[in-house]
Amino acid sequence: MTPIPPDETVVSRLVVRAPNWLGDAVLALPAMAAIRRHFKDAHLAVAAPAGFADVFREAIGARPDEVIALPSRPVEIRAALAAGHFELGVLLPNSFRSAWLLRQAGIPARWGYASSFRSPLLTRKPARQRTTGVIHQADYYRNLVRAFGIPVDEDAPRVDLTTATRQRGVDLLARFKVDLGRRLVVLAPGAAYGQAKQWPPARVAEVAARLIADRDATCVMVGAGHDRDAARAVESALPTAFGAMRSRLVDLTGQTSLPELMGVIARADAVVANDSGAMHLAAALGRPVVAIFGPTDERATRPIGPHEVLTAKAFCRPCHLRDCPIDHRCMKRVTADMVFAAVSRQLAFRRESARESS
């Protein structure tokens, strides 16, 4: 085991264990940037699930010296962490397992929220803040870092892509014959948490058809492999009379690496998404976002910045269920007219901003 430092705040090597979901990881970037500034002379590693570890290579302020793409098996995670000979581990997830693996990896100083019966595994363990209101997830991570005496800015999460990553997005769009001379609207019809968070595919298709016909846009659907069924349902719901314009709805779900996904989103004039990792990634990339919320609470996970968040009244929301046990009213009451109008406003705002800056 690496010797425990006499002062846990003076270390030469530390690792931050990132959250387990892409959206949460993006929202944690301001807290991670604060850790980077505080330990500016130390070797900082970020350990994150392999599926989205690349996002930390592009993160403004939080960019680490090393990114550890975590394998899936606990014994391999322990070995990967032990190989770093870290003196300090900062835990952003609240799970017992994440704390246990840091201890098993021989990391002597372990900081994180006291939760999930893991307090004996931690050397610094502030209690989670009690409140009667809703705390945004980004503030949840900020408050943890502040509890360690580290100042944290109120900046929004930001991801600034390298030229190479941007080009990967352009190359992928060219491979699928996307005309970059037209407006590009990215649609993210899926959501990792469950079907309850997904806006009905027929509504997505209606908005896509109107954007193509009335706004001369190309619509590109993005998502992971598990989102392909949702994308196919959108394609199937397009009007049969749409003819040749069907080619301007392009399905990239399950066909992008994370760097390619970031490169594609970075080219978008607007992004339409459910409460998902793609939504937060688009906001961090500075793209105008139209976010549709149903079973989850927009006060806790809304995209940060001048984005449009659409909800509908329902007595049962937010329920946080993966699957709706009744009629999915919270999402069905968000109409295609509402979404189309919101996207149109974002496109107009972007056009006006571009005109003012030229």
> Is 329 in the same domain as 236?
yes
**Domain final residue, candidates 116, 147, 178:** 147
> Is 47 in the same domain as 187?
no
- Beta strand extents in 209-258 (DSSP E only): 217-221, 249-251
Helix (H) or strand (E) holding 214: helix 201-214
| Overall size of the chain counted in residues | 358
Q: Is residue 157 part of a domain?
A: no
Q: Is residue 156 part of a domain?
A: no
Task: Give the C-alpha separation, 173 to 25, whole Å.
Answer: 26
221-250 pLDDT, tens digit per residue, is 999 999 999 999 999 998 876 777 888 999
Tokens of 303: 């995209």
What's the confidence (pLDDT) of residue 2? 54
What's the confidence (pLDDT) of residue 61? 80
- Residue 209: domain span: 167-357
What's the confidence (pLDDT) of residue 242? 75
Backbone conformation region of residue 328, classed left if phi is above 0, alpha if psi is from -120 to 50, else beta: left
Q: Is residue 296 part of a domain?
A: yes
Which DSSP string corresponds to 91-154?
E-S--HHHHHHHHHTT-SEEE--B-TT-GGG-SB-PBPPP-SS---HHHHHHHHHHHTT-----
- Please, are residues 181 and 278 in contact by the beta-carbon 8 Å criterion? no
Nearest to 115 by CA among 132, 124, 128: 128
> Is 126 in the same domain as 32?
yes
**Cβ neighbours around 348 below 10 Å, total:** 12
> Is 120 in the same domain as 262?
no
> Is 126 in the same domain as 223?
no
Task: Give the C-alpha separation, 250 to 79, whole Å.
Answer: 41
**Domain final residue, candidates 77, 112, 147:** 147
Q: How many domains does the chain have?
A: 2
> Is 184 in the same domain as 136?
no
Nearest to 21 by CA among 173, 263, 191: 191
What's the confidence (pLDDT) of residue 357? 47
> Is 133 in the same domain as 208?
no
Tokens of 224: 């992971």
> Is 199 in the same domain as 102?
no
> Is 65 in the same domain as 212?
no
272-294 pLDDT, tens digit per residue, is 999 999 999 999 999 999 999 99
What's the confidence (pLDDT) of residue 132? 76
Q: Which residues of the chain have pLDDT under 70?
A: 1-9, 241, 350-358
Q: Is residue 225 part of a domain?
A: yes
Question: Hey, what amino acid is at 345?
Answer: R
Tokens of 95: 């799970």
CATH number, domain of 196, equals 3.40.50.2000
- Collapsing DSSP to helix, strand or coil, 216 comes out as coil
> Is 334 in the same domain as 210?
yes
Q: Is residue 261 part of a domain?
A: yes
For the chain, report the end-to-end CA distance as a whole number of angstroms.
Answer: 58
Backbone conformation region of residue 157, classed left if phi is above 0, alpha if psi is from -120 to 50, else beta: beta
> Is 64 in the same domain as 192?
no
Q: Is residue 154 part of a domain?
A: no
Q: Is residue 218 part of a domain?
A: yes
> Is 223 in the same domain as 317?
yes
Backbone conformation region of residue 61, classed left if phi is above 0, alpha if psi is from -120 to 50, else beta: left
Q: Is residue 51 part of a domain?
A: yes
